[in-house]
Structure 1
Amino acid sequence: MKKIALLLVLVSNCLLAQIQRVEPPFWYAGMHNPELQILFYGKNIAQNDVSVSHNIPILEVKRTENPNYLFVTIDTQKATAQELLFTFSKDKKVAFTQKYALKQRRPNSAQRKSYDASDMIYLIMSDRFANGNPKNDSNPTVIEKANRSNPGGRHGGDIAGMIQNLDYLKELGVTTLWPTPLCEDNDKAYSYHTYGQSDVYKIDPRFGTNEEYVQLSAQLHQRDMKLIMDYVTNHWGIQHWMMNDLPTKDWINQFETYTGTTHKRTTVHDINASKIDYETCFNGWFVPSMPDLNQTNPLVLNYLTQNAIWWIEYANVDGFRVDTYSYCDKDGIAKWTKAITNEYPNFNIVGEIWMQDQAQMAFWQKNSKIGAIQNFNSNLPSVMDFVLLTALQSVFNENEATWDKGMMKIYDNLANDFLYPNPNSLLIFAENHDTDRFNETYKNDFKKYQMAMTLVATLRGIPQLYYGSEIGMAGNKSKGGDAAIRQDFPGGWKGDTNNAFLKSGRTPEQAQYFDFTAKLFQWRKTNEAVHFGKTTHYIPENNVYVYFRYTAQKTVMVVVNNSDKNQTVKTKRFQENIQNFNTGTDVLTGKSVDLKTDMNIDSKSVLLLELN
């Protein structure tokens, strides 16, 4: 009877302190940083002592005010790939155990090549691209169900749909895929955008599984393409599993009453800013459904760092785009970025720095001299060029060049490149999932699309295309809200009458857009001058902007006539770049252009010349 009673006590203790979560769920041997902090979560788990097998040193056992958490830091420096056993004891008696795997890394994992200016990134709204598996449109484990008739609802796009259409992207000239976040978002409504995540170690079941995400990565790599993960460091969703039982009160930034961010991110470098304005901007919540994470808390910062590294290793991810990067605590996010690039020296991370001033954006790029004024280095390799975006959204309706209108806007933007430590690492784009649709702004004027895409393809930086632009997709955000700029890709759903994924299914207008875009970006793959070459540009005259991209081996000349009149361009002015070249071959038409005589260019058109 005593043995039975003892057994019942042991079972009871085990049930009381059963582990509900272990994060990261496993790890890898041979990491640059050998310290691994494992979160164990379970009822009153902190009452236990912890030990681990295989003589693995435990560096720290961290308890917080919440007894349901233990943060156990181990030293993996001498550990090989193996299964560890954690033992949890109370009063020197074993309460329960937990297996934990250290896995083998892929060969040369640390030296993985990331995306750079030789790539073209294709951004998709994951729920709106293609529904490859209708069976996962809804799932009993998450709240919101699929409803394609609801513009702001979940429509069923998924990882399977992406995989099924990778050859379409390859044909388009895409080298790198950026899907919007795929981790679970269990919000009651508007969960389709997935920026309010509820579990950052789990792919949302309506998108697929963790294994399918790994498959997406593998399928991309088989096609010599790359995968960018859209990572969110600033906030989680209100439905995140921790929100009902926070590890610490200061895990998230909290005020006495709900306080939203002011969005006035200039306070980060404003030497005249008040403390209250600074704190409200960076500690305020983005929206009520997105709790603001406190990156000044070492436990939070380490959790986010390890989660990011785990995904890189697990899914073989090639790079990150970080949402709302400049809303984070600046020192915390700099440490996060540095920790990742320490593990992966070639890894590229582009931050969403939505500012309208080059100096303010340059502050956030790695090794910025502007940041150095305040002893700050973000360690962030790339930022998004929102100043150029703003110019591209208006410039093609400005037929006459003035001091600050027309193509002068593009010229002036590049004239400020001296502010950036690395202009070639800027992400450049004409639209994304948060902005007005380019083809809506310009009423599907194909000539204006040609001018914009030629600029995006040939200016310094890393070009990014938003899904559907290449078939003329539009959408009025002012009338239809975000749903209007995040419409379903035609042909991505069974029963769609128009299938733009197939050449035979495209309308004549869609084919015109696609054929031009594919030709442009397939050519771009082959030309190193527009990848990493130097730039020389000339002050626009008559709303005609001329610039050269060149290396020692190749020279490209770009002529953009944004005027509503045909123009004659006097080539003698550009002799320092034309030099001994006699002709140029127009990439878009194949025609030869004589560089020794003045050239004529039609209104609202481009010449993209490889010089011979």
Structure 2
Amino acid sequence: MLLATVAVNAQIEKVEPPFWWEGMHRSSVQVMVYGEDIATLTPEVSNVTVTAITKTENPNYVFLTLDTKGLPAGNYPIQFKKKNKVKTTYNFELKERREGSAYRKGFDSSDMIYLIMPDRFANGNPDNDTMEAVVEKGNRDDLNGRHGGDIAGVIEHLDYLSELGATALWSTPLCEDNDKAYSYHGYAQSDVYKIDPRYGTNEEYVQLGKELHKRDMKLILDYVTNHWGLEHWMIQDLPTYDWIHQFPGYAQSNYRMSTQMDPNAAAVDARYCMDGWFVPTMPDLNQSNPLVVNYLIQNAIWWVEYADLDGFRVDTYSYNDKEGIAKWTKAVMDEYPNFNIVGEVWLHDQAQIAYWQKDSQISAIQSYNTYLPSVMDFTLHDAMSAFGKEHAGWFDGTIQFYENFVNDFLYPDVNNLLVFAENHDTDRFNQRFQNVADYKLAMTIIGTVRGIPQLYYGSEIGMAGDKGKGDGDIRRDFPGGWAGDTNNAFTANGRTAEQNEYFDFTSKLFTWRKDAEVIHTGKTTQYIPQDDVYVYFRYNEEATVMVVVNNAKDARTFNLNRFAENIKGATKGTDVISGKTMDVAAETMTIEGKTSFVLELK
């Protein structure tokens, strides 16, 4: 009988996290070491207490839990021995931590977040469009292929973002996605410690954060806890069978996130929502496995420290294992109490969205807390259909916005809602409403209501795209981001007259908003729309802003006496956009069709 033999020269192929920091709240670090038959060797760590050694059914993995509390920065060799003979060594480093790192301030309602698809924004380094280390090559002629946008291109145009009024940048994932096709979107990651070489390097990503911070802007990383790509190196050699959800193998999610909170849900339906794969190329991670959730926690914290991040946007938040994602979120927020995380909770009911925000009284009924500070206001996005209504009705028109805000009582923190007209997954606003007037109305609302406004790249120059042609069409290249582009929309001279009309309105509104504390944290009073004219006020003890949105095609004259409780003693209001001063002490006010006012009252 031939007995299996163990390789005596096992080598370390990967260590994750590759290093850590001194003085961390999370001082107990579980270091994953990967290499052929590495688990058959005996690990020892110099001058560090090893509190646990975890092995799995796969001998290529070993998880070492190190207690780093009180240890100074420096190298701490991890030796792997066989019969007291050292076979391989890894110098695990504790780095010096940035001063005040634990108390970094995340994005908040004073910010305007600009969302980009980096592959489609700007190509700053054509030399990395095609890289040997990854499969899919650059091909700008393929609507769904890699077009070459990269970190260098983003850095080149940060002043453009600042001019626009943006104060934070959210990029879709930049970590390696080695899928054979459609890899440009980045959500099927194959290495979560490495920036995709077609975007640049880890060092370039760190530089992006530095350049943003120089401009008093913030960096938000799009984090994916729910799934990886099939090409992820750990998926190719699973640490444990239950590292991912298996049925066995693949099963499709039913996408019914309401099963996560439904007290009457069938167990099989809840399982297929939570455990089913998002798509066949994205294996579903099992956050109920302690090794998995700990790996994800440490990876997230590692990126915050390494790249000096200001926030996370978490993809498909409500598809995760409920308890596992709550542990992940709490761990990150425990490390950074002033940080911010916004979760994608793509639901169409305010109570169901509010369920996922931290300290929700709705989820408390089920003794559950996500610890998630911010959620995305998808019902406000849904209300954008108001601009497509020919005539206002009981349920249609600007009443849709009013009714959305009626339900603000459901949210524990309305100022920490992400508000938007579109994003990289939805229909393009400028495709649905092909005129600048409706765009201006939408931005007026997004820019003046409670919450954190988010703008999708290119909207500010009128960019459109037909989702019916595939996601690639709603993720078109930004004009001027590639050498040879005939239209350079990054500069006023390069933009068309129409593009400048979109841009100028957006820039004026959001530049004003940067210092408008009354919008950041003020209270709201809204009035029931009449004749499709919606009026609301944002106010605090120092200031009052009156917002008027006329969604009707024709001019409307309305009585100002109705708003006396908010106008109070003010006599004049200066429009933020036009600079015109209006008489708010008069009996009536007239507003042209498809027009808005943002009036600072005096």
TM-score range, shorter-chain basis?
over 0.9
**Equivalents in 2 of 1:410, 1:193: separation in Å?**
31
Structure 2 residue corresponding to 1:545, chosen from 497, 515, 534: 534
2:20 maps to a residue whose letter is W
1:408-448, Cα deviation, whole Å (9 max, x unpaired): 100000000000001110000000000110011001x1111
1:345-376, Cα deviation, whole Å (9 max, x unpaired): 01100000000000000000000000000000
Structure 1 residue corresponding to 2:454, chosen from 453, 459, 464: 464
For the 8 Å contact 2:220–2:310, the answer to whether it is kept is yes
Structure 2 residue corresponding to 1:48, chosen from 41, 59, 62: 41
1:475-508, Cα deviation, whole Å (9 max, x unpaired): 1111x21111000000000000110001111111
2:573 maps to a residue whose letter is G
1:439 maps to a residue whose letter is N
CA drift at 1:336: 0.2
Residue 412 of structure 2 corresponds to residue 421 of structure 1? yes
Residue 87 of structure 2 corresponds to residue 95 of structure 1? yes
Of residues 401-410 and 14-23 in structure 1, the stretch that sits farther from structure 2 once superposed is 14-23
Residue 438 of structure 2 corresponds to residue 448 of structure 1? yes
Give 4+ residue runs of structure 1 displaced > 4 Å after superposition.
12-15
Structure 2 residue corresponding to 1:21, chosen from 4, 14, 18: 14
Aligned equivalent of 1:501: 490
CA drift at 1:16: 2.8
CA drift at 1:172: 0.4
Aligned equivalent of 2:299: 307
1:168 is paired with a residue of what secondary structure?
A: helix
Aligned equivalent of 1:4: none
Structure 1 residue corresponding to 2:425, chosen from 407, 424, 434: 434
Residue 343 of structure 2 corresponds to residue 354 of structure 1? no
Residue 393 of structure 2 corresponds to residue 405 of structure 1? no
Q: How does 1:310-349 map to 2 (within 5 A)?
A: 310-349=302-341
For the 8 Å contact 2:6–2:37, the answer to whether it is kept is no
Of residues 175-184 and 502-511 in structure 1, the stretch that sits farther from structure 2 once superposed is 502-511
TM-score, normalized by length of structure 2?
Answer: 0.98
Aligned equivalent of 1:477: 467
1:197-224, Cα deviation, whole Å (9 max, x unpaired): 0000000000000000000000000000
CA drift at 1:563: 1.3
Structure 1 residue corresponding to 2:176, chosen from 168, 181, 184: 184
Structure 1 residue corresponding to 2:101, chosen from 88, 109, 120: 109
2:470 is paired with a residue of what secondary structure?
A: helix
Residue 580 of structure 2 corresponds to residue 588 of structure 1? no
Residue 550 of structure 2 corresponds to residue 561 of structure 1? yes
CA drift at 1:257: 5.1
Residue 231 of structure 2 corresponds to residue 245 of structure 1? no
Structure 2 residue corresponding to 1:35, chosen from 28, 50, 75: 28
Aligned equivalent of 1:575: 564
For the 8 Å contact 2:577–2:598, the answer to whether it is kept is yes
Aligned equivalent of 1:6: none
Residue 199 of structure 2 corresponds to residue 207 of structure 1? yes
**Equivalents in 1 of 2:337, 2:243: separation in Å?**
29
**Equivalents in 1 of 2:323, 2:339: separation in Å?**
20
1:51-105, Cα deviation, whole Å (9 max, x unpaired): 1112x11100001011110100010111111111111112222222211110011
1:504-536, Cα deviation, whole Å (9 max, x unpaired): 111111111111110110001121011010000
**Equivalents in 1 of 2:525, 2:242: separation in Å?**
51
For the 8 Å contact 1:29–1:79, the answer to whether it is kept is yes
**Equivalents in 2 of 1:336, 1:129: separation in Å?**
31
1:208 maps to a residue whose letter is G
Q: How does 1:501-540 map to 2 (within 5 A)?
A: 501-540=490-529
For the 8 Å contact 1:401–1:541, the answer to whether it is kept is no
For the 8 Å contact 2:467–2:473, the answer to whether it is kept is yes
Q: How does 1:62-73 map to 2 (within 5 A)?
A: 62-73=54-65
Q: How does 1:72-87 map to 2 (within 5 A)?
A: 72-87=64-79
For the 8 Å contact 2:250–2:283, the answer to whether it is kept is no
Aligned equivalent of 2:145: 153
1:424 maps to a residue whose letter is N
2:161 is paired with a residue of what secondary structure?
A: helix
2:544 maps to a residue whose letter is T
**Equivalents in 1 of 2:132, 2:86: separation in Å?**
36
Aligned equivalent of 1:603: 593
CA drift at 1:402: 1.9
Residue 399 of structure 2 corresponds to residue 391 of structure 1? no
For the 8 Å contact 2:558–2:589, the answer to whether it is kept is yes
2:598 maps to a residue whose letter is L
Of residues 76-85 and 192-201 in structure 1, the stretch that sits farther from structure 2 once superposed is 76-85
Structure 2 residue corresponding to 1:263, chosen from 255, 261, 279: 255
For the 8 Å contact 1:383–1:426, the answer to whether it is kept is yes
Aligned equivalent of 1:382: 374
**Equivalents in 2 of 1:15, 1:190: separation in Å?**
41
1:416 maps to a residue whose letter is N
Q: Structure 1 unaligned segments of length 5 or more: list them.
A: 1-11
**Equivalents in 1 of 2:357, 2:88: separation in Å?**
48
Residue 474 of structure 2 corresponds to residue 490 of structure 1? no
**Equivalents in 1 of 2:103, 2:215: separation in Å?**
20
For the 8 Å contact 2:9–2:87, the answer to whether it is kept is no
1:101-131, Cα deviation, whole Å (9 max, x unpaired): 1001111000001100000000001100000
Aligned equivalent of 1:3: none
Identity between Structure 1 and Structure 2 (%): 61
Aligned residues: 597
For the 8 Å contact 1:14–1:95, the answer to whether it is kept is no
For the 8 Å contact 1:43–1:68, the answer to whether it is kept is yes
For the 8 Å contact 1:65–1:248, the answer to whether it is kept is yes
TM-score, normalized by length of structure 1?
Answer: 0.97
**Equivalents in 2 of 1:14, 1:207: separation in Å?**
37
For the 8 Å contact 1:399–1:562, the answer to whether it is kept is no
1:22 is paired with a residue of what secondary structure?
A: strand
For the 8 Å contact 2:343–2:372, the answer to whether it is kept is yes
CA drift at 1:401: 2.6
1:416 is paired with a residue of what secondary structure?
A: helix
CA drift at 1:400: 3.0
CA RMSD of aligned residues (A): 1.1
For the 8 Å contact 2:230–2:236, the answer to whether it is kept is no
**Equivalents in 1 of 2:87, 2:103: separation in Å?**
42
Q: Structure 2 unaligned segments of length 5 or more: list them.
A: none
Aligned equivalent of 2:115: 123
**Equivalents in 2 of 1:162, 1:321: separation in Å?**
18
1:117 is paired with a residue of what secondary structure?
A: coil
CA drift at 1:48: 1.4
CA drift at 1:17: 1.1
1:367 is paired with a residue of what secondary structure?
A: coil
